[in-house]
Each structure stands twice: as C-alpha cells, then as structure tokens.
C-alpha cells in the first residue's frame, strides 16, 4: 500500500491552540423569522462553489446561483433535492445541523429530531432489561420527530435572498418528473430492503427503484408542492402532519401533537482558535464539535511527539488513537442534549484540561483501555447513511450542512400518502447505559431517552475562517467516524500541506476507545501488508469497516474556491462563476 512520503509538520502545526468556547446556549427564534435586510455585498470570490453528494443537487445549486441566490438559498435547494434524489440519507423525514457563516458572522441551526412525547427511558428494553435488537433501528418505534423542514425554513427565511418557492422548485421537479437512478443508490436500496422486509412498507414506495431507470415520486412531489405553497406549517400542522400521524397510529409513537410542538433552534456554535484559524463547529446535541476541538488541540499539544512522524505511519496511527481514546471517553460520559443535561462544554474544551489529557498519552504503547474509561462495548459495521454538503457563495458566505436519516433509508417506514422516508434517529440515544448503539458507541444518562429530547449526534458541519474570511468548509457522514475523519482531513490540509483533493482521498482510520485497542480501516485504502503488521506489533487489533465517510469540502485559496467530493462516494463539485 502506498504511503505518503514522510512529511515534516508545518510550523503552523507547532503553534499553540487557544480555544475560545462559547457555551451552546438555547436561542429560540420566533416562529416567523424576519428576514435580515439585504445589504448589497461586493463579490469577493471569483465563483460560488458546492461539494454535494449527487449531481442532481449540484444542478439545483447551480440553478439557484444563476437566479441570484446566495449560499443559504443554494443549501436549502440542495437539502430538498437530496430528499428526492439521494433518499437513502437526504431527507425531509430526518434532521441535522447547519453551520453558517453569513456576512462575517457564525450561526448554527439545530434541526435534529426529538424523541416523541410518549417516549420513555426504557422503551427499547425487554422485561429483563435487555435491549431489544433492532427496535430502535427498523420500523415505526425507531422514528424521532423530524426537523429538516423546520430547519430549512428557519435558515432560508432568515438569510435567503430568493423566495421559498424558488428554492423548492428543483426538488419538486425531480420528484414529479423523476430522475435516473444510479448503481450505488439501487444497491443501497436493495441492501436496506432486506432489513425492512416484513417490518415496514418500504417496498411499496421503493420496490420499483432500479438502476438506469427514471424514478418518480408523485406523493413526495405533492408534499413538496404543499410545503412550497404553505411553508413548514404544512409539515407540522397541515395535511402532511395529518398523513404522518395517521401512518404512525397503532404502530409508532409520533402524533400530530409531536409535530405541532417540534422546534428547530438557533444555537451558539462551538468555536475555537487553532493555528491562527477560527474553527466554527457543532455544539451539543452534537458531540462532534467538542470532539473535533479536543482532537485538534491535543495533537497540537503533542507537537513534539508528532515531530517527523510521517502521515499514516504506524506511530502516527498510534498517537492519533491515543488521542481518540480520551475524546471518546468524554463523549460517552458527558455528552447529550443541552436542553436536558448540562453539558460541560467550557470544561471539555478548556485548553488546560485538554493539555492535561494530552499529557496522559503514552507515546510508546497503547494505554490500557480501562484506565481511560471503564466498560465494554461492541461495534457494528459502519454504514453510509448521512450526507453532507458544503457551499460557498461569491460574497464569502458559507454553509456546512450535515443531515441524516441515521441508517440507510432510516427506519424504512414511509409515511403513507407522502413518500417521506422516516428516520431511525432514536438509535442514537443510549437505550441502556454501557450498551453500544449501531456505531459501537456507548452513552450514559446524559443521553438517555426523554420526551422531546434530542439524541446525541456526531455530525460535525464545520467552517474554518482566517481573519474573518472563510478558509475551509467541511463535513461528512460516518456516525462516530465523522469527527475523526474531519480531523484527519484538516491535518492533511494544514499540517501536511496536501492539496484538498489529495487530503480528502488519503487513507483514513478510526479508533473510539471501544473495542479496546482496535483500529478500524476502510476498504477504499485498506491497512494491509507491512503497515498492518507494524500497527499490530504496537499492540493494536485491526478491523475492517465497510465505510469511512464521504467528505464534501471547499477550500478557499485567495479568491478562488477549490472543491473536493470524496472519491469514496458519488458526490460532485461545481464552481459557478
Ligand atoms: O447523528 C449521528 O451522529 C448519526 N445519526 C449519523 C449517522 C451517520 O453518519 C450514518 N452514516 N454513516
């Protein structure tokens, strides 16, 4: 296997990190957000740019930019388009996070799903207190109250330049007139259908989806048209709400009351300073932003240990795994929905605390897992069911958005008469302390189930700026691999000076405390041969996983955007002059 030549750490990597953490407060907006008065902005880049998970969404974004839209308009158009053409993860039946940088200011929109009002702490346990396999993953009980439509409505009405109808138009067209299904989508559909067989109505809506053929979704076209005409109100209070509630009746927990009470919230993003850059990233209920800042700072704290260590060499893998161990120990213990549990954001991102954690890293051999965090976990294979897109416009605004159904096609439940695929986000709660979820991560009471609570996420839509100007927009799917993947690409770009496309394509690996001393590798760039032997000789077990993210990133070089779509996925990039 090809390894990158031994690279010296840049001077920047040796610089210290100062983290300025803004607590993730709850900033609720009025339902009808007044649009910010539009100031005429001079173009500062020679093109707008997108990195998105399929070509239909890129076309939608191009149309929106050509109509005079900004990055937020394009992002919302992409989100609705992917709900049609990338239905395994793009959604209006799920939720997510959006990090924005608009007119030189950072914002964060939390439109994560919430537990239904009837949810209970032990709803996935049997009489003996054991987790009932699959109950939080497949079928009606797995569904959280969706947030995507509310989130998109908030951001577009606050920051968009075009009309709401304009940004929905491309998605409506794809749903009504159809789009051509590619191989990857068809095979994901086939795989997912096996899990849902006998449990959901998935095949009624998606059974006919075949590679190379045009797939139309008339029910979804009708829903999107109603949303275009009536706004998010249709989804949460109108006919679409009635249809979702009717589908759930007798099967699942979500009622019309759940939909009526759903709120997307503006939160303060987590922010830190790293190597002269401002990192703007996801606050709780994501664990990702805190995780990413801890990873970045611990690596900077350990600069002397990383000196002359080649990228992806056995020693590099070891040091990164040591750092990741500590980050995942914190994740399991402290992280949950800040509206229900006081997440110690400031302490977790305090440079002195992180320096103390970094000092525990053993440069010579793996620390004993139990000494970092007690408890055992198992890990399931990783899947590709979330999706990320990055957008910048010529005026220097940026959007980093990650949204998800959780598993491929979520719960597999399609709300009758709507074509809306519903999520299985309830699996991101800790069904029982210490028992691992789909991503092999464990949690504590901080992430136990409660009505209206949001499950802990790893999604980490991130924007880096320097001197007030956007430098990098980045994110990926990958469950618990999300922030470790973003971390590696940021290292590749800034510490190893790799061009963006190479940085995204480079080998990635993952460690998450549990299972003990296990390094996960990916099929795209497997760890094998001599490298594998050397890593094993350091005391690690190697384990294959079937997925290691699908990074969509944009880097700004001077006044020119450079976009990269992960070669691991079917994403595309587009520059729109
Ligand atoms: O919110 C989370 O962290 C997960 N539900 C994301 C799922 C995901 O990224 C699946 N893709 N690999």
What DSSP line would sit under 135-153, residue for residue? TTTSSGGGPPBP-HHHHHH
- Determine the average pLDDT of the residues in 28-40: 50
Distance CA 240, CA 263 (A): 17
pLDDT, greater one: 7 or 38: 38
Over residues 123-156, the pLDDT tens digits come to 999 999 999 999 999 999 999 999 999 999 999 9
C-beta 404 within 6 A of ligand 1 = yes
Confidence band for 13, pLDDT divided at 50, 70 and 90 = very low
Radius of gyration in angstroms for the set of CA atoms belonging to the chain, rounded to a whole number: 22
C-beta 110 within 6 A of ligand 1 = no
Residue 510 CA to ligand 1 centre (angstroms): 15
Which backbone phi and psi does 106 adopt, to 5 degrees?
-90, 145
Nearest residue CA, atom 1 of ligand 1? 457
Q: Which of 255, 349, 369, 386 is catalytic?
A: 386
- Determine the average pLDDT of the residues in 436-450: 81
Residue 376 has pLDDT above 70, yes or no: no
Angle between helices 529-537 and 314-334 (to 10 degrees): 60
- HEC-encoded secondary structure of 370-383: HHHCCCCCCCCCCC
Residue 375 has pLDDT above 50, yes or no: no
Share of the chain above pLDDT 90, in %: 83
The contacts of residue 357 (CB under 8 Å, 6+ apart) are 294, 298, 326
pLDDT reported for residue 268: 97
C-beta 388 within 6 A of ligand 1 = no
Nearest residue CA, atom 12 of ligand 1? 478
Residue 192 CA to ligand 1 centre (angstroms): 16
Share of the chain above pLDDT 70, in %: 91
- Determine the average pLDDT of the residues in 305-324: 98
Residue 366 has pLDDT above 50, yes or no: yes
Distance CA 279, CA 547 (A): 26
C-beta 53 within 6 A of ligand 1 = no
C-beta 476 within 6 A of ligand 1 = no
pLDDT, greater one: 371 or 567: 567
Taking alpha carbons only, the member of 297, 298, 416, 432 closest to residue 375 is: 432
Does residue 455 contact residue 425 with C-beta atoms inside 8 Å? yes
C-beta 477 within 6 A of ligand 1 = yes
Residue 22 has pLDDT above 60, yes or no: no
Residue 363 CA to ligand 1 centre (angstroms): 31
Nearest residue CA, atom 4 of ligand 1? 479
Does residue 178 contact residue 210 with C-beta atoms inside 8 Å? no
Residue 499 has pLDDT above 90, yes or no: yes
Taking alpha carbons only, the member of 492, 464, 460, 493 closest to residue 398 is: 464
Does residue 91 contact residue 421 with C-beta atoms inside 8 Å? yes
C-beta 284 within 6 A of ligand 1 = no
Residue 443 has pLDDT above 80, yes or no: no
C-beta 511 within 6 A of ligand 1 = no
Residue 39 CA to ligand 1 centre (angstroms): 37
Please identify, by atom number, the ligand 1 atom nearest to the C-alpha of residue 112: 1
pLDDT reported for residue 34: 55
Over residues 243-272, the pLDDT tens digits come to 999 999 999 999 999 999 999 999 999 999
Nearest residue CA, atom 2 of ligand 1? 457
pLDDT reported for residue 435: 81
C-beta 383 within 6 A of ligand 1 = yes
CA 184 vs. chain centroid, Å, equals 20
Residue 35 CA to ligand 1 centre (angstroms): 31
Does residue 577 contact residue 47 with C-beta atoms inside 8 Å? yes
Does residue 294 contact residue 348 with C-beta atoms inside 8 Å? yes
Going along 414-551, which residue ranges are E strands?
Answer: 414-415, 420-421, 462-466, 469-475, 509-510, 518-521, 541-544
- Determine the average pLDDT of the residues in 398-413: 97
Residue 447 CA to ligand 1 centre (angstroms): 15
Q: How many CB atoms lie within 10 A of CB 55?
A: 16
Angle between helices 164-177 and 148-159 (to 10 degrees): 140
Residue 394 has pLDDT above 60, yes or no: yes
Q: What is the mean pLDDT of the chain?
A: 90
Over residues 100-113, the pLDDT tens digits come to 999 999 999 999 99
Residue 404 CA to ligand 1 centre (angstroms): 6
Residue 292 has pLDDT above 50, yes or no: yes
- Determine the average pLDDT of the residues in 446-473: 96
- The first and second tokens of residue 177, run together, are 């007139």
- Determine the average pLDDT of the residues in 57-63: 98
At residue 332's C-alpha, the angle toward residues 331 and 334, to 5°, is 65
pLDDT reported for residue 393: 98
Residue 476 known to be catalytic: no
pLDDT, greater one: 344 or 378: 344
Please identify, by atom number, the ligand 1 atom nearest to the C-alpha of residue 96: 1
Residue 62 has pLDDT above 90, yes or no: yes
- The first and second tokens of residue 294, run together, are 């801890």
Distance CA 369, CA 377 (A): 11
C-beta 168 within 6 A of ligand 1 = no
């Amino acid at each position: 296997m090809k390894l990158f030549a031994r690279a010296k750490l840049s001077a920047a990597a040796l610089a210290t990190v100062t983290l300025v953490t803004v607590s993730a407060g709850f900033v609720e907006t009025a339902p009808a957000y007044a649009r910010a008065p539009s100031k005429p902005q001079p173009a500062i880049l020679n093109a707008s740019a997108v990195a998105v998970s399929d070509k239909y969404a890129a076309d939608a974004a191009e149309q929106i930019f050509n109509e005079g839209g900004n990055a937020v308009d394009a992002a919302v158009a992409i989100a609705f388009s992917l709900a049609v053409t990338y239905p395994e993860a793009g959604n209006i039946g799920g939720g997510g996070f959006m990090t924005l940088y608009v007119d030189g200011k950072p914002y964060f929109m939390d439109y994560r799903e919430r537990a239904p009002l009837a949810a209970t702490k032990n709803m996935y346990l049997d009489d003996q207190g054991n987790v009932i396999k699959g109950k939080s993953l497949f079928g009606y009980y797995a569904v959280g109250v969706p947030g995507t439509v509310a989130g998109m409505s908030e951001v577009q009405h606050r920051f968009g330049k075009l009309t709401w109808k304009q940004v929905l138009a491309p998605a409506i067209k794809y749903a009504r007139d159809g789009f051509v299904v590619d191989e990857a989508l068809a095979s994901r559909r086939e795989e997912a259908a096996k899990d849902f067989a006998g449990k959901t109505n998935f095949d009624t809506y998606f059974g006919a989806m075949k590679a190379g053929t045009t797939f139309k979704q008339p029910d979804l076209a009708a829903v999107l048209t109603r949303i275009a005409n009536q706004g998010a109100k249709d989804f949460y209070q109108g006919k679409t709400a009635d249809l979702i509630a009717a589908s759930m009746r007798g099967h699942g927990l979500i009622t019309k009351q759940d939909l009526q009470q759903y709120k997307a919230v503006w939160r303060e993003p987590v922010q830190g300073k790293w190597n002269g850059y401002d990192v703007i990233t996801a606050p709780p209920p994501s664990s990702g932003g805190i995780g990413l800042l801890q990873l970045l700072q611990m690596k900077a704290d350990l600069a002397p240990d990383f000196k002359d260590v080649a990228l992806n060499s056995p020693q590099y893998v070891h040091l990164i795994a040591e750092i990741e161990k500590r980050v995942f120990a914190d994740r399991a213990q402290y992280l949950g929905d800040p509206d229900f549990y006081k997440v110690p954001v400031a302490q977790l991102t305090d440079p002195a605390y992180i320096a103390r954690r970094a000092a525990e890293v053993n440069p010579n051999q793996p620390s004993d897992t139990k000494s970092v965090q007690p408890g055992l976990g198992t890990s399931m294979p990783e899947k590709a069911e979330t999706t990320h897109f990055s957008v910048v416009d010529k005026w220097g605004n940026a959007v980093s958005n990650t949204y998800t159904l959780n598993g491929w096609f979520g719960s597999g439940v399609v709300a009758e008469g709507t074509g809306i695929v519903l999520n299985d986000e309830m699996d991101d709660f800790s069904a029982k302390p210490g028992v691992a979820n789909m991503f092999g991560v464990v949690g504590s009471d901080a992430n136990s189930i409660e009505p209206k609570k949001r499950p802990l996420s790893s999604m980490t839509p991130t924007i880096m700026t320097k001197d007030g100007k956007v430098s990098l927009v980045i994110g990926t799917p990958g469950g618990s691999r999300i922030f470790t993947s973003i971390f590696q690409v940021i290292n590749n770009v800034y510490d190893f000076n790799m061009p963006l496309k190479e940085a995204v394509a480079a080998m990635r690996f993952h460690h998450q405390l549990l299972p003990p001393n296990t390094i996960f590798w990916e099929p795209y760039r497997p760890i094998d041969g001599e490298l594998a032997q050397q890593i094993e000789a350091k005391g690690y077990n190697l384990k294959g996983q079937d997925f290691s993210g699908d990074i969509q990133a944009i880097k700004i070089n001077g006044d020119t955007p450079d976009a990269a779509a992960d070669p691991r996925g079917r994403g595309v990039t587009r520059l729109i002059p």
